Structure 1
């Protein structure tokens, strides 16, 4: 799990850094899209080789974006629960969502990367 957290920090740094660099040449929407895709690639490579110590495979690489879809959908549900039912301030709810989705993201990443 510690390696997963280190990978997440690395991924945020690469994604955000890429976004800032790409803003020099592209609109913010295009820069965000490219940086997001780069983040998925970095996350897969780092996750496969360092976090879960598995060989990279085309099959798992093609499935890996499903982790991000799962993370987004789960995060959206949790965000609504925290804001609407728990009455957490909208400014802080995404931080709680990020922490709460770490276990699901870890398990989904591990499952997909380890699939043959």
Structure 2
């Protein structure tokens, strides 16, 4: 869980850096979507190697986004609610909502990345 958390912090920093860079050229929701997809790809490879110590296969790579679907839905809806409903700043919105989905993401990704019964 500690390794997952460290990778999560790195992933969040990567996501947020990309999000801020993309805000200069695209609307906030597009910035969120692109930054999320890129950081999720990095997260897959880091978690495969360091958290779950498993070989990253195409099958796991294709299933990994399913594990992040909850995270994606919560963060996307959360960013929308914070910015458009609560009228708060779009720069901090992703950070405010990102922590909500982390425990669920860990449990689902662990299920996907684990080798399963032998």
For 1:29-108, list aligned pairs within 5 A: 29-71=29-71, 98=99, 101-108=101-108
**Paired residue secondary structure (2:56):** coil
Cα distance in 2 for residues equivalent to 1:112 and 1:21: 31
Number of matched residues?
Answer: 99
- Equivalent residue number for residue 91 of structure 1: none
Runs of at least 4 residues of structure 1 off by over 6 A? 94-97
After the TM superposition, which of the residue ranges 19-28 and 45-54 deviates more from structure 2?
19-28
Cα distance in 1 for residues equivalent to 2:41 and 2:98: 23
The alignment's TM-score, normalised by the length of structure 1, stands at 0.69
Distance change (3 Å), C-alpha of 1:34 and 1:71: closer
Task: Give yes or no for contact 1:60–1:114 (8 Å, CA) kept in 2.
Answer: no
Stretches of structure 2 lacking an aligned partner (at least 5 in a row):
76-94
Cα distance in 2 for residues equivalent to 1:97 and 1:15: 10
Stretches of structure 1 lacking an aligned partner (at least 5 in a row):
77-93
Cα distance in 2 for residues equivalent to 1:26 and 1:96: 21
CA RMSD of aligned residues (A): 2.9
The alignment's TM-score, normalised by the length of structure 2, stands at 0.68
Task: Give yes or no for contact 2:68–2:109 (8 Å, CA) kept in 1.
Answer: no
Point out the structure with max Rg over C-alpha.
1
Cα distance in 2 for residues equivalent to 1:96 and 1:57: 30
